[in-house]
Amino acid sequence: MTATLEPTPGQTVGPFFHYALPYDGGAHLVPPGTPGAVRLHGTVYDGAGVPVPDALLEIRQADAAGATPRVEGSLARDGRFTGWGRAATDAGGRYAFTTVAPGGVRGGAAFFAVTVFARGLLDRLFTRAYLPGESDAFLAGLAPEDAATLQVVRDEAGDLRFDVHLQGERETVFLAYPRHRA
């Protein structure tokens, strides 16, 4: 007897990853209360403008002096600044990191490199979150409305806010890297 088998359906990222990858302290690149610490926070929105409750964000950044840390990010927070952190969104699509404001690397603009994982995506998305007032050739080459999607704003508390829009009219500019492989 020969049976016809149905192919296994394709899968997109998550939401299964949300339960396995966040870890205690992952969003704290520096301990809360550290002199010079800043709070980078925001909300991840889908194409309809609805907050995404099960996204995961990672940041990679230079230290305050603009030096790229040579210590790989890890689950252990041993007092060395790794420049890497991971945060999951809550039920309202909100995330937050405690870190230091990055300095510009080799005199360039200061920014956070942001990676976004969310349901419905076949692969992660890469973007940048530029500190207020920072610019570089890449950012200056974008249309003003696109460049605005990459700009961090200071909120009323003085914290850094960076919202991510996965699709739609206010979609965040996402980046492709030639050497990146899924």
Domains delineated in the chain: 17-165 (2.60.130.10)
Measured distance CA(132)–CA(135) in Å, rounded: 9
Q: Is 161 helix (H, G, I), strand (E, B) or coil?
A: strand
Lowest-confidence pick of 47-51, 67-71, 129-133, 157-161: 67-71
φ/ψ (deg, to 5) at 16: -60, -30
Q: How many whole angstroms separate alpha carbon 60 and alpha carbon 73?
A: 9
| Distance between CA atoms of residues 122 and 13, nearest Å | 6
Which parts of 108-174 fold into alpha helices (H)?
A: 137-140, 144-147
Handedness of CA 12, 18, 20, 24 (dihedral sign): positive
Which pLDDT score is estimated for 79? 73
- The CA distance from 131 to 11, in Å, is 35
Type of residue numbered 91: A
Q: How far apart are CA 29 and CA 81, in angstroms?
A: 7
Q: How many CB atoms lie within 10 A of CB 42?
A: 23
Per-residue model confidence (pLDDT) at position 86: 93
Among 19-23, 58-62, 100-104, 173-177, the least confident range: 19-23
Q: What is the pLDDT of residues 40-99, one digit of tens each?
A: 999 999 999 999 999 999 999 999 999 988 876 555 667 778 899 999 999 999 999 999
| Model confidence, pTM | 0.86
pLDDT per residue over 59-74, tens digit each? 999 999 999 888 765 5
